[in-house]
Amino acid sequence: MRSSLYFSVALVVSVTIVVGCASQQSFVMQPSQTPVALSDSVETQIVPIGHADVVDNVQLVGHQAACPCFDCQSTKQRLFSKKRIVGRTDATLLDSGVNESNGLTTAAASQFYDSQEFLRDGGDSGSTVVRLTDQSLKGLQPEDTIVHYKTAAGKVEIQASNQVALYAPRFRSVRQVSGAVAGGRAVGAAQMDRPVGTVKVDQPLPGLVMRDSVEIGHADVARGLDAMRDRERSVPVDAVQQVNVASNVMAALVNLSSQQAYRLQGDQKALFHQFANAAVTYQLDECLEVAVQNLRIPSLVRDQTLDGFTIYEFEHGHGRLQISKFADRDDAKPGDIVTFGIRIENVGDGQVNEVVVVDNLTTRLEYVPDSLECEESVDFQTDVNEAQSLRLQWTLQEPLEVGEAVTIQFKCRVR
């Protein structure tokens, strides 16, 4: 502990001397991009949708001012929305340009996504996969891709791959047929008695307009708002009792402060004071603070503390596999072929045995027969899974030495 503190302080001192001058400039924050004002050149680069063949030789700005059509108005709105659209082509207008006309930017829309539009494969979703004593796997969900192996020490390990997401939305529909033929009802008067002649002319007679009236068979009367009583009187507060331990709040805070991780204790304080006199540079997030040797800084403010400290201990000779999965495309339509690749690499300190890679395909992925490619000799096995797809399993015939890697490629058709 003491040696590391010596080293760190010495390193900071050396860095101080080297970057002392340069640190003066680091305080001046240069904007990464200066705001670009809309210019005429911006307007002339925009072609409204659908007007390329109509207003081929017409000045766009003047045409927009006069033309009330939707294309020109949307383009004009796009200009007034002060979005930087320099360099966009027609192919991106509906994707981003037109939809910016009402303030909807692609950046704003990209914050939202629907997982139902993506086809995911890989990882270990849901319950964690475990291997039972009979070599079978439990908790393997559709989409999961894992590798399980045995280390030289005889320990069984399971490692999940990363998740590959394809944008592949699929639409279906629900149809309902209805109409007057099936459930229609005509309402009319069966008969009507109306006096003829001058009989009873002094009595009021009903009109000729017939209206259907529906009587209420049963009504449940519920109390409305008139049943509520407004309470405007104040609530007495004299009965509120104070907390008995309120006087000890400061003491509690002091105790909390003393428990912070960065507090120096014991002999560390002496060491800190000893080396603090030797001109130390304290680096913050955005700037460098420089102190000159033999001049103590009047105050030291640190706004960062250690949030966590993790120690990784690896056993000697312990093999570890890293599995990664990738696809050759980011989006696919039904019927498209996607090539998946699974790469397994031994990044540990010892060889691993009984390496088995399992890819449980999701419902909408169909394995293309005879599409497997692998440079190593593997035993390939397929089983129908609960998602009505296939569970692919590769078993390496040879142990995987340190640093060795195996890449498996196969193709799937998107359903």
Partner 1 sequence: MTKVSILHARYSAGLLAIVVLLGGFVCGGEPSDFLPRGSFNPLLRASDPPGTVGQTRLLGRGPVVGYYQPVAITGPKGVQFALPSGNGMTLPTERLEAGFLIGSVYRFHITQIPGALGVELFPTVEVIDRTYPPQHLATQYPIEIQLDEEDFRTAIAGRMVTRVIYLEDPQTAIPVQQTSKTNVPFEVSQFQDPLAVADEYGRPVAIVRIGSLFPPRQKSLLPEFFFGYPQWAPFPGASVASSANIDNIPSEIK
Residues interacting with partner 1, by CB under 8 A? 49-50, 53, 69-70, 74, 90-96, 98-99, 101-104, 106, 108-110, 112-114, 116-120, 142, 167-183, 330-331, 333-335, 362-364, 366, 384, 387-390, 413-415
Min. distance of Cβ 40 from partner 1 in angstroms?
Answer: 24
For 256, the enclosing helix (H) or strand (E) is helix 249-258
Nearer to partner 1, 114 or 285 (CB): 114
Q: Which long-range contacts (CB under 8 A, 24 or more apart) does 66-75 make?
A: 72/48, 74/48, 74/49, 74/98, 74/101, 75/46, 75/48, 75/101
Give the Cα separation of 367 and 390 in Å (integer).
7
User: Does residue 139 come out as left (phi exceeding 0), alpha (psi in the -120 to 50 range) or beta?
Assistant: left
Min. distance of Cβ 180 from partner 1 in angstroms?
Answer: 8
Q: 10 Å Cβ neighbour count for 132? A: 8
Nearer to partner 1, 42 or 49 (CB): 49
Nearer to partner 1, 69 or 271 (CB): 69
Q: How many residues does the chain have?
A: 415
For 75, the enclosing helix (H) or strand (E) is helix 70-80
Q: Which long-range contacts (CB under 8 A, 24 or more apart) does 40-45 make?
A: 41/86, 42/79, 42/84, 42/85, 42/86, 43/79, 45/86, 45/87, 45/88
Min. distance of Cβ 43 from partner 1 in angstroms?
Answer: 19
Nearer to partner 1, 25 or 57 (CB): 57
Question: Which string of DSSP letters, residue by residue, matches 4-18?
Answer: HHHHHHHHHHHHHHH
Question: What six digits make up the tokens of 156?
Answer: 């069984």
Min. distance of Cβ 29 from partner 1 in angstroms?
Answer: 29
Nearer to partner 1, 113 or 272 (CB): 113
Question: What six digits make up the tokens of 115?
Answer: 């997982």
Min. distance of Cβ 382 from partner 1 in angstroms?
Answer: 10
Nearer to partner 1, 112 or 262 (CB): 112
Nearer to partner 1, 273 or 333 (CB): 333
Nearer to partner 1, 172 or 302 (CB): 172
Residue where the block lists tokens 């670009």 = 36
For 249, the enclosing helix (H) or strand (E) is helix 249-258
Min. distance of Cβ 67 from partner 1 in angstroms?
Answer: 12
Min. distance of Cβ 334 from partner 1 in angstroms?
Answer: 4
Min. distance of Cβ 176 from partner 1 in angstroms?
Answer: 4
